[in-house]
Amino acid sequence: MVDTPTLEVLDQGRWVRLLRPHNGFPQAWGAAWLREHCRCAFCTKDRRDSIPIIDLQTPIQVTGLEVIGSTGLRFEFSDGHNRGIFPWAYLDSLDQYPKFSALSGLQPG
Ligand SMILES: [Zn+2]
């Protein structure tokens, strides 16, 4: 079955919204939150060493994204980081759609 995801970067890059046909409901994640939860080797090491992943003074936006087949998504962030691949199951566990609806003022599509 072809399950082509529909991805939108919203609110000047602060949110990513995803619709996967097999799910039938939208999901959303905040850019800063995604950046903070990157699971690449570099970010994992920084977290282990208690080094902050993001600078709270600098807003983070998603500047690009790529579907990695059945694996998941790779995001590019405004701080230049683009190494992390977010597996679908991991993204499912991080769904922030209720927060997205409450904070963004954007209407669910
Ligand atoms: Zn990372």
Q: What is the pTM of this model?
A: 0.83
Task: Choose among 79, 92, 96, 84: nearest CA to 44.
Answer: 84
Q: What is the distance in A from the centroid of ligand 1 to the CA of 107?
A: 30
**What is the pLDDT, as a whole number, of residue 58?**
84
- Predicted local distance difference test score (pLDDT) of residue 42: 95
User: b/e for 64-90, b at 16 or more Cβ within 10 A?
Assistant: ebeeeeeebbbbbbbeebeebebebee
Ligand 1 centroid distance, CA of 30 (Å): 15
Task: Give the distance (Å) from ligand 1 centre to CA of residue 82.
Answer: 7
Whether residue 109 is predicted with pLDDT greater than 60 in this model: the reply is no
User: How many angstroms separate the alpha carbon of residue 36 from the centre of ligand 1?
Assistant: 8
Task: Retrieve residue 2's tokens.
Answer: 């072809």
pLDDT for position 26 = 86
Cα of 1 from ligand 1 centre, angstroms:
31
CA distance 21 to 25: 8
Look over the chain and give the mean of its residue pLDDT values, rounded to a whole number.
87
